[in-house]
Amino acid sequence: MGLLSGTASFTRFMVEGEVPEDFWDFVARRVAEHSFQDIDDTIDEYSIGWVSVADMFDSDFAFSSYAAGDYVILSMRIDERKVSSAVLKKFTAKEEARIRQEQEVQRLSRNVRLEIKERIRAELVRKSPPIPAVYDLCWNLSSNTLLFFSNSRKAIALLEDLFKETFELSLIMQIPWNTALQLTDQATAEKLGDLQPALLI
């Protein structure tokens, strides 16, 4: 649920920094450079990049544009191969038991156990399909505001990094303090700094 349908949850940002004059060419170039790269047929563990909001498989923006009126609309897609700790524990224990039996020993050294665990983890990661997550965003160019359709702290941190890397612009989260500074005149903004929490009872 996000930009396109149903109920939506979002976090608001201000976009800080200067945009170049050839803005749309710049966006085209940078979005292409940071578009999502599929890892289904590789053994990579992680991939992050931009896709179309209309179709998470469209990272060339062949069928839908990231431009809508005075807005840039994009989805941040993250694919990650994950192995649950319970699965890792089970297969590591199984492999340790096999090696103990093969070598006819009671115990394995700590180093050997660590090596087994790392090898099993790498094998399991390779076998597991990448899990996708997609988050929409909408960047209003006239007000330099951005809506990111998630409240997840982890997703927000990833967005801030990817956005900075792609456009060389910073995102400032619109918490009440920042919003108050944005919405009020200079005289009111100066008084804000002196405010102390009020007792409501």
Partner 1 sequence: MDLVDLIEEKRFLGQEFLAWLWFKSEERGGSIELPERGDILVAFEKHMLLEYGEGPESEKLICRGLQTELREARTGLTLGKKPEQARVKVGSGDYEFSITLTAATMEFRSVRLPKTAGAGDGDGDDPESFEGQVLERISLFEEGIELVNELFRLFISIRTSGDWSDELVKLRAWIYTSADQLAR
Q: Which residues bind partner 1 (CB under 8 A)?
A: 3-5, 7-12, 53-54, 63-65, 68-69, 71, 73, 138, 140, 147, 151, 173-177, 179-180, 183-184, 188, 191-192, 195, 197-201
Q: In the complex with partner 1, which residue's Cβ is closer, 13 or 83?
A: 13
Q: What is the spatial distance between Cα 72 and Cα 61, in angstroms, rounded to a whole number?
A: 13
26 contacts 184 by C-beta, under 8 angstroms: no
| Sequence-ordered alpha helix ranges (H) in 104-135 | 110-127
Q: Rounded to the nearest whole angstrom, what is the least distance from the CB of residue 10 to partner 1 in the complex? A: 5
Going by their DSSP bridges, the two strands 67-68 and 46-51 should be labelled as: unpaired
14 contacts 145 by C-beta, under 8 angstroms: yes
DSSP run (H or E) holding 151 = none
Q: In the complex with partner 1, which residue's Cβ is closer, 42 or 179?
A: 179
Q: In the complex with partner 1, which residue's Cβ is closer, 45 or 160?
A: 160
Residues sharing a CB contact under 8 Å with residue 155, sequence separation 6 or more, in sequence order: 76, 133, 135, 148
Q: Rounded to the nearest whole angstrom, what is the least distance from the CB of residue 25 to partner 1 in the complex? A: 20
Q: Rounded to the nearest whole angstrom, what is the least distance from the CB of residue 164 to partner 1 in the complex? A: 14
Q: In the complex with partner 1, which residue's Cβ is closer, 128 or 178?
A: 178
Judged by phi (left if over 0) then psi (alpha if -120 to 50, else beta), residue 168 lies in: left
Sign of CA dihedral 28, 31, 151, 176: negative
Q: In the complex with partner 1, which residue's Cβ is closer, 78 or 146?
A: 146
Q: Rounded to the nearest whole angstrom, what is the least distance from the CB of residue 162 to partner 1 in the complex? A: 18
Q: Rounded to the nearest whole angstrom, what is the least distance from the CB of residue 33 to partner 1 in the complex? A: 24
